[in-house]
């Protein structure tokens, strides 16, 4: 058992706990910071752990918080206003694990010192949503606001050019890789695919589910798990294609005439439109083929994780996939998805950052049990004094 797990299980002597609170355990910096953040909520060693964190080596801490794979609780600790260290904010802002929603919150109400860091951040300056939040902050000068507006003026459209030969070669290579992956996957699961042969394409969920998939949960702040882009993509999972959308109708018609083996191949070889349709296939192996496709992108997985009209198997397969779960947004979307099985949500909720726990507490679309756990974790991560301050 790792030392962190032993500390959480209260399975180490008090002497070891004190050494941990002093930051003197022989473990990597990232793990040591994770242990210290955990100990800040300890009634005996919490204060000592906080003092250790406040004086922890700056360069070592910067390397940890700049890593997208850093423990979420460490990122959340240093992002919380009372624990911020100005020298770390640039690395935190550029870290993709810090959501755009968090950046918007900081941009709209941050101090003059934080404003300077945001203005110097390529990520913050390139985001229209963050730039708009900056404009609402009185700490920004008129000159800075004009710079932001100039940066987000639409650029003139470049002249149309014919696709380059290199792009065609890249497409060919991508198709070859997808075909190789399809052949290997088909051979591995041939018996399971044959067992599902005969199932016609009748999409999981219906019109009611599709409309619900576009709705937002009631919360005191916008739920990060359901961005506008995700809602638009989820709506594309609907069984009804608009009459003018000939491309989508054509894809639906083609898929409706395929058997299971052909739909498995389409999941590997098709484009995003086909995957958006096939992820709702009643055949479990077709759903799994979509998730195994090398053409599948991170934004698509984020959309599937928040979709309310997919089979439970899809959500479980996403949660089992280590590559998918390295994406913080995927885990957050699963927890906020009303259709996500409670056992999965309860296992994933501990990875949420403070801001997302705050939103989840009031998300009426998820089970009451999940909201209660979110409230408990939020209190543990912010502390009683911080909770009172936020309510005030």
Residue 161 lies in a domain: no
Which has more confidence, 205 or 201?
Answer: 201
92 & 43 share domain: yes
Confidence band, pLDDT 50/70/90 cuts, at residue 224: very low
Would the pLDDT of 108 be above 90? no
Q: Are residues 97 and 193 in the same domain?
A: no
Residues 304, 256 share a domain: yes
Say yes or no: 112 and 201 in one domain. Answer: no
Between 170 and 44, the more confident residue is 44
Residue 344 resides in a domain:
no
**Residue 138 resides in a domain:** yes
Q: Could you tell me the residue range of the domain that residue 184 belongs to?
A: 178-331
pTM comes to: 0.50
Q: Which of 286, 310, 331 is the last residue of a domain?
A: 331
**Are 199 and 319 in the same domain?**
yes
33 and 127: one domain? yes
In a domain, 266, yes or no: yes
User: Beta-carbon neighbour count of residue 364 at 10 Å?
Assistant: 10
Both 217 and 111 in one domain: the answer is: no
So what's the pLDDT on residue 146? 76
Average pLDDT, the chain: 82
What is the phi/psi pair of residue 379, to 5°?
A: -65, -40
Query: How many domains are contained in the chain?
Result: 2
Last residue of a domain, one of 331, 365, 381: 331
Q: Say which residues have a Cβ less than 8 Å from residue 64's Cβ, sequence separation at least 6.
A: 29, 30, 33, 70, 74
Question: What would the mean pLDDT of 33-61 be, rounded to a whole number?
Answer: 93
Does 57 lie in the same domain as 119? yes
Q: What is the pLDDT of residue 332?
A: 94
Kindly report, residue by residue over 286-308, the tens digit of the pLDDT: 999 999 999 999 999 999 999 99
Q: For residues 384, 386, 388 and 392, what is the CA-based torsion angle, rounded to 10 degrees?
A: 180
Residues 202, 68, single domain; the answer is: no
Is the domain of 74 the same as that of 193? no
Q: Examine the fold and report which residue of 151, 167, 202 is the final residue of a domain before the chain moves on.
A: 151
| Percentage of the chain lying above the pLDDT 90 cut | 49
Residue partners of 117: CB distance under 8 A and separation at least 6: 86, 89, 90, 93
- Please check the confidence at residue 212 and state whether its pLDDT lies above 80: no
Q: Minimum mean pLDDT among 33-37, 65-69, 99-103: which range?
A: 99-103
Q: Are residues 12 and 146 in the same domain?
A: yes
The pLDDT > 70 percentage for the chain reads: 80
Provide the pLDDT confidence category of residue 386 given band limits of 50, 70 and 90: very low
Q: Read off the pLDDT band of 162 (50, 70, 90).
A: low
Check whether 159 has a pLDDT greater than 80. no
Between 328-336 and 298-306, two packed helices, what is the crossing angle to 10 degrees? Answer: 20
- Specify whether the backbone of 198 is left (phi greater than 0), alpha (psi in -120 to 50) or beta: left
Residue 318 shares a structural domain with residue 189: yes
């Amino acid at each position: 058992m790792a030392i962190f797990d032993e500390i959480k299980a209260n399975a180490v002597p008090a002497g070891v706990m004190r050494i941990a609170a002093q930051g003197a355990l022989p473990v990597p910096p990232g793990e040591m910071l994770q242990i210290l953040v955990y100990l800040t909520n300890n009634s005996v060693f919490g204060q000592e752990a906080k003092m250790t964190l406040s004086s922890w080596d700056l360069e070592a801490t910067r390397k940890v918080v700049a890593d997208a794979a850093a423990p979420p609780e460490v990122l959340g600790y240093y992002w919380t206003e009372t624990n911020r260290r100005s020298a770390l904010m640039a690395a935190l802002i550029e870290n993709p694990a810090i959501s755009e929603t968090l950046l918007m919150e900081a941009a709209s109400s941050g101090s003059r010192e934080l404003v300077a860091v945001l203005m110097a951040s390529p990520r913050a300056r390139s985001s229209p949503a963050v730039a708009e939040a900056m404009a609402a902050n009185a700490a920004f000068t008129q000159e800075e606001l004009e710079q932001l507006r100039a940066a987000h003026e639409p650029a003139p459209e470049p002249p149309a050019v014919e696709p380059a030969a290199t792009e065609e070669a890249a497409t060919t290579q991508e198709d070859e890789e997808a075909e190789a992956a399809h052949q290997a996957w088909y051979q591995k699961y041939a018996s399971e695919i044959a067992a599902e042969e005969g199932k016609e394409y009748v999409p999981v969920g219906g019109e009611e589910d599709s409309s619900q998939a576009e709705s937002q949960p009631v919360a005191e702040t916008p739920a990060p798990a359901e961005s506008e882009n995700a809602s638009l993509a989820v709506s594309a999972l609907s069984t009804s294609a608009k009459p003018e959308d000939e491309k989508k109708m054509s894809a639906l018609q083609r898929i409706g005439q395929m058997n299971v083996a052909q739909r498995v191949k389409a999941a590997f070889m098709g484009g995003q439109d086909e995957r958006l349709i096939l992820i709702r296939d009643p055949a479990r192996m077709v759903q799994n083929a979509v998730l195994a496709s090398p053409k599948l992108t991170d934004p698509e997985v984020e959309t599937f994780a928040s979709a309310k009209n997919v089979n439970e198997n899809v959500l479980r397969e996403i949660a089992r996939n280590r590559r998918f779960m390295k994406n913080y947004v995927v885990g957050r979307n699963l927890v906020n998805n009303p259709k996500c099985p409670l056992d999965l949500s309860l296992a994933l909720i501990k990875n949420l950052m403070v801001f997302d726990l705050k939103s989840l507490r009031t998300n009426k679309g998820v089970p009451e049990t999940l909201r209660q756990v979110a409230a408990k974790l939020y209190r543990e991560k912010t502390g009683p004094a911080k909770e009172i301050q936020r309510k005030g």
